[in-house]
C-alpha cells in the first residue's frame, strides 16, 4: 500500500488490464453475456452509495461514473465490458482524478472497491483465472 501511495504522489489515474503487474488490477472475467453483465452492473451502481451513474453506452459496453473522494476531489470512472463470446464477459475499470496533483492511491482503492462490489454481485458467474 505504501508503494501505491508513493506512486499516487505523482500519478492521478489507475487502470486495470490483462497484463497488469498487480494481480488485484487484472481484468475480471464472468460467465454471462455482455448484456446480462451490463444490466447487473448498471443496476448495482444505481443502488451503490458514493457513485453517481452519469451514462451508459450499451453498444460499446461502457458505464461512466463519478465519485467524490474524502478530500473532495472528483474521480471520473469508466467501467468497460467486453463480450469475449456469447457467454463470457471481461470487465476493466479506468479511474482518474481531476486536478493536477497525484491521487495518493485513491484511484487504486476505488478500482478495488468497484471490483469488490462487482465480484459480490456476479459471484455466481466469476471465472477464477
- Give pLDDT, residue 71: 81
- Rounded CA-CA distance 18/25 in Å is 8
Percent of the chain with pLDDT over 90: 78
> Average pLDDT, stretch 92-107?
88
- Dump the DSSP string for 77-116: EEEEEEEEETTEEEEEEEEEESSSS--TTHHHHHHHHHHH
What is the value of pTM for the model shown? 0.91
| Residue 8 confidence (pLDDT) above 60 | no
> Average pLDDT, stretch 25-51?
97
Domain ranges within the chain, ordered by starting residue: 2-127
> Average pLDDT, stretch 82-104?
92
Q: What CATH architecture applies to the domain 2-127?
A: 2-Layer Sandwich (3.30)
Query: At 45, is the pLDDT very low, low, confident or very high (cuts 50, 70, 90)?
Result: very high
- Give pLDDT, residue 4: 57
> Average pLDDT, stretch 66-86?
94
Amino acid at each position: 500500500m505504501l508503494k501505491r501511495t508513493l506512486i499516487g504522489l505523482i500519478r492521478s489515474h489507475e487502470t486495470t488490464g490483462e497484463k497488469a503487474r498487480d494481480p488485484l488490477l487484472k481484468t475480471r472475467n464472468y460467465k454471462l453475456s455482455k448484456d446480462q453483465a451490463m444490466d447487473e452492473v448498471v443496476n448495482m451502481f444505481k443502488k451503490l452509495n458514493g457513485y453517481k451513474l452519469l451514462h451508459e453506452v450499451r453498444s460499446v459496453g461502457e458505464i461512466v461514473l463519478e465519485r467524490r473522494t474524502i478530500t473532495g476531489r472528483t474521480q471520473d470512472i469508466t467501467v468497460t465490458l467486453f463480450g469475449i463470446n456469447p457467454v463470457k464477459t471481461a470487465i476493466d475499470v479506468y479511474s482518474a482524478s481531476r486536478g493536477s496533483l497525484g491521487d495518493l492511491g485513491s484511484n487504486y482503492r476505488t478500482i478495488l472497491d468497484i471490483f469488490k462490489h462487482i465480484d459480490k454481485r456476479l459471484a455466481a458467474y466469476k471465472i477464477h483465472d
